[in-house]
Each structure stands twice: as C-alpha cells, then as structure tokens.
Structure 1
Amino acid sequence: MPSVSSTPPDADALFDAALAASEAGDRAGAVAHYRTLLALEPERKHAWYNLGLQLKYLGQWDESLRANQRALELAPENNEAAIWNAAIAATALRDWTTARAMWQRYGIQLQGPVEGEIEDNFGVTPVRLNPDGQGEVVWSRRIDPARARLLNVPLPESGYRFKDIVLHDGAPAGYRKDGDRDVPVFNVLELFQPGPFGTFEVMLDVPTEEAMQAFQDAADRDGMYAEDWTASYQTICKACSEGRPHDHEHQPDDEAAEWQPERRVGLAATSRAQVERLLAHALPPGVEVIEWTTALEPRAS
C-alpha cells in the first residue's frame, strides 16, 4: 500500500495569507500565518517585521519587541520602521534602556537624564483615541516619540481623561492645523499611565463668551480644567478626520455662529467635592448651573 504524505505548506502562500488576514482586520489570523511561515523560513526578515507589526496592534509587547529585534538582526540597515516599532514596544514594557537605545539608533536625540523613564518636550500634536471605534481626536503634548499627555478633556464615552498619558503609534493618520503648520495625528495604542482627574459634565447657562472665560479661569484657579465642549467639538467625516479637514468644508449651522447661552462643559477635577465647591461658591456673575453629573470618576491613586 503506497504511503500518504501531506504537502508541506508553501511559505509564499502563507505570506500572502497573512497579508490578506491583516487587510481583513484579522490580526490574530495574520500572526498565526506568520508564525507558521517563520517555522519554515526563520530567516525571512519581512515576515519578522510584519509579525512584530501585528503584535504591536494586538498589544503583545514582549513578542512584538522580540520580532522587531529579530528583523533588525536580519536587516540592520535601512530598517527604520522596525527600529521605531521596537522602541514603541520597549516603551510599553517600561524597558527604558532598550527604548533609549532604539530612539538613538533611529537618530533621535533625547534631552535630560541619560537613563530611566523619558520625559522630554516634543511639542503638541493631536492624537486619535479609540481609532477602531469613535475615533475622537484631541490635542496632547508629546513627552517622548511614542507617548503624549492629553491636553483636552475627552468626551466621557472615550474612557480617557484629562492629563492621561497615552502610548501612540508613529505613522501619521491624518493632519490638523497648529497655527500655519500641518501637524500629524497619531493613533493611540493604549493608555500608558492614568492621570489623577475625573470627568464631570456640566450644563451651564452662560450669557456671554466673556462669562465663559471667567468660569474657565475660576476652574483653573482651583486646580481644575474646564473645556467648553459646545465650542471645541465638531463632528467631521472619516475621510477628513484621517486626511486634512481644512481641505474639505464642514460649514457650521448659521445658528451656531451666534453665541448660544446653554453650554455643555467638560470639567476635569480630582474629586466631586472640588466640583461642588466651584459650582456653589465660585460661579462668575450671570453664570447659572442647569445640571451636572459625574461622567468618569477620578481614578484611585
């Protein structure tokens, strides 16, 4: 009786299957294909890089770092993407020695201490929270090439809070204007370090813009941050959010051009008592509270 032998998997077919799975959003399937391929051809550098990329999006940081390091061993020159992704993975793991080495290898000069956690000033940039979901874009200050501290009060449904530190990707996913400059939007990969603030939603009757500014100043004096969501948030189409919104007109309603006294305000505070004091004792003349609620509790320290 003739023996029956199975046909070994074809490496090129596995590579194509991995790419197709990635295109379809099946990152776990892509990882499985790349692992099978690399068991057959362990020297395939592009597969190692692609495996590290998929593991990055899955938040599997140990394996992502190892995959990118292997890609760099096989192709040490002209492999900037693997260097950057290795640095992101090392940052997620709090492996500051490796992260610093990778940023230096990429050509980025870090200021301040030469070891330990990085806290620098890489300027302001917008980041996209929950890029696979609602995709809210807020402004942040980058403290290293892959982390940023949020400067807006995000909407409660995002799950993020004012001053949270987020880990973000390095590939631009759209642009926004900062003065005359186009600045890239980076997709957030995960919450890196929670900030001390909760989010409180306050509905106010505010007679003028000057009164709104006075309320924001009062919040600031008490260690809070008040954002006029009525003025600062705009819904735009996906194409514009991931491109350049200023190249596509999103005209406001005529009514929105006039001051609307009813304002939805996001208030960042470290306790409910702090909000109660502000609303009970520090309201500017003419400003009245319609209602308010705790939208996201402050995180326990």
Structure 2
Amino acid sequence: MASVRKGEAKALLKQAREAWEAEQWQLSADRYEEVLRYYPDDKPSGIWWFDAALAHKFLRNWDKAFELGKEAAARAPRGEGDPAYWNLGIAATVLREWPVARDAWSGFGITLPEGEGEIVGRFGMACVRLETAGEYEVVWAQRLCPTRARVVSVPVTPGRRFGEIVLHDGAPTGERIVDGQRHSVFDEIMLFEPSDLPTHAATLTVPAPDDLEALVELFAERGFGAEPASSVNLLCKCCSEGSHEQERSVRAGTQQVSLAALTDEVRSLLDTWAGGGPGRAWRDLELVG
C-alpha cells in the first residue's frame, strides 16, 4: 500500500508544481495538501508545507495560510532568515495572532521591541505601493513591524488616507533614493487599519519655501499631514518598480496643497498659518476624500 501511495504522491507533486507554474494557486495547494496527508514529515515536506501555505497567501486565504504556515515554520531552521517564518508572520499579523507573529519574526531572525501583543516599533521609513481598484500610488510610510506601516504621505488616490496602516509584502519592488539614502518600495497586501482623518485640498499663496515648510510643521504638530501637489510624480507602473531619485518639492508661489486633518480644525490651522507671516493666504478649501 505504501508503494502505491508513493506513486500517487509523485503524480500529485507533479500536478502541484505544474499548477504552481500556471499560477493556479488553489489547485496547487490542494495537490500539496493531498500529499501531506500521507507524508507530513518526509524530508522534503517542509518545502511542500511552505508552498501550500504560500499558495493560500496568494489567494488571501489567511486561515489556511496560517494553519499550513505553522507547519512549514515548525520544519524550518530558526534565526537563519527562512521565508517560512516570514510568511507565517504575515498570516499571523492579518489574523492578529500576536504571540505567533512575534515568534515568527524572531524565528526569522528579527529583533523585536520587548513586550506582548501587537507589535508597534520603529522599523524605519519605507515606501508602499498602494493598490486601489487597479490604481497604484507609492506613498511614504513609517514601518511599525516587519509587515505593517503607517502612511505618512497624503495619498491622492480616492479612498486612501494619511495615517492609515497597511500590510505590505516583504520583497522590495523598486526603490526611492533621497539625499543618497535608499528606501525600498513594498507592495501593499491589504489595508490593515483605516484612518479617520479626511483629506482636504486648498489653494495657498506661499511667499517663500520656508512658508510651506511652516505649514507642514504646523500640521505635523497636530498629528496631521500637508503635502503640496508638486511633490506628486506620475510614473507608469513599470517605471515605478525601478530605482528613482526624489527631492521634496518645496517652492514658493500659488499652489494646491493636500491636507489631512479633522474637518473642524483644518480652517483654524490654515488661518493660524496665514497669520504667521506676511503674504501668506489660502482659499478654495474643499473636502476631497
């Protein structure tokens, strides 16, 4: 009986790999799982558990990615950057299984801030490529853990907001270079936590670049965001995935600025800014998202 099962397993593995190459993720996962019912602990089983879990990650079936990912990680060496831990960390984070997520990141080899529960650390700045109904926008974000980041740009894509927390993948798909420092671009997996800060737009008269910087600082002091339209660079998706040098565009003159702030505070903040220097003015404030 065992020899028959091994013959069947060989055929199932072939089907699993062929389905994988064709990006038929559900079929591939099903075939791997059939083999694993008989051979959960064979020498190559760690790879099968990993591929099955990864297929479910691509399908956004997080319960299965979590279940199979735990099996893959249990067969992977700790502290050596094994991707089984990374994928488990993502699935555990989606499900808010914080003890498992913490163990997975540690198993990968990442030092976490001390504590229990949700991971809120400072893992540096990065860029995240948001995807909304087939539209893409790269924004700046502060990484809170290996897979979560808080958006600190004011997105121009409808429905996206400053301050929202997104879940991003681990493999960089491009980079942005600012003052010689390289920042990876990661693809968004999902919106993890929405933001309650609406987006407004206003036309500002800015006598000097320092006046615009003063606006940005004023809004930042309140935990809000302000970003001139001139800082938005339009790139096709292919070009966006390359390496690009960027400079923050801070210039004088009349220009539109996106503002992320509570609606009942945005006017008073603009008035405070306008009264803080000669020649400053604003008009045409509107709610845009």
Which TM bucket (shorter chain)? 0.7 to 0.9
Match of 1:33 among 28, 31, 34: 28
Q: Report the Cα offset of residue 80 of structure 1.
A: 0.9
Contact preservation (8 Å) 2:175, 2:184: yes
Distance in structure 1 (CA, Å) of the matches to 2:13 and 2:243: 37
Distance change (3 Å), C-alpha of 1:221 and 1:244: closer
Distance in structure 1 (CA, Å) of the matches to 2:89 and 2:202: 40
Distance in structure 2 (CA, Å) of the matches to 1:79 and 1:106: 5
Q: Report the Cα offset of residue 76 of structure 1.
A: 4.9
Corresponding residue number in structure 1 for 2:211: 211
Identity of aligned residues (%): 33
Contact preservation (8 Å) 1:218, 1:283: no
Calculate the aligned-residue CA RMSD, in Å: 2.9
Helix, strand or coil: the match of 2:106?
A: helix
Distance in structure 1 (CA, Å) of the matches to 2:234 and 2:66: 37
Contact preservation (8 Å) 2:212, 2:252: no
Distance change (3 Å), C-alpha of 1:20 and 1:184: same
Corresponding residue number in structure 1 for 2:87: 85
Q: Report the Cα offset of residue 93 of structure 1.
A: 1.0
1:264 and 2:265 correspond: no
Q: Deviations over 1:1-43 (max 9, x none)?
A: xxxxxxx894244224422332xxxxxx421332134324544
Distance in structure 2 (CA, Å) of the matches to 1:245 and 1:282: 33
Contact preservation (8 Å) 1:87, 1:99: yes
1:147 and 2:140 correspond: no
Corresponding residue number in structure 2 for 1:133: 134
Corresponding residue number in structure 2 for 1:196: 196
Q: Compute the TM-score of the two structures, normalised by the length of structure 2.
A: 0.81
Q: Report the Cα offset of residue 281 of structure 1.
A: 5.7
Gaps of 5+ in 1: 1-7, 23-28, 297-301
Q: Deviations over 1:211-266 (max 9, x none)?
A: 32333344345553211122x111123333212124xxx9x9xxxx9957332211
Distance change (3 Å), C-alpha of 1:281 and 1:185: closer
Match of 1:99 among 96, 101, 104: 101
Distance change (3 Å), C-alpha of 1:82 and 1:279: same
Q: Compute the TM-score of the two structures, normalised by the length of structure 1.
A: 0.78
1:295 and 2:268 correspond: no
Q: Report the Cα offset of residue 64 of structure 1.
A: 0.6
Gaps of 5+ in 2: 1-7, 40-44
Report the count of equivalent residues.
271
Distance in structure 2 (CA, Å) of the matches to 1:161 and 1:258: 21
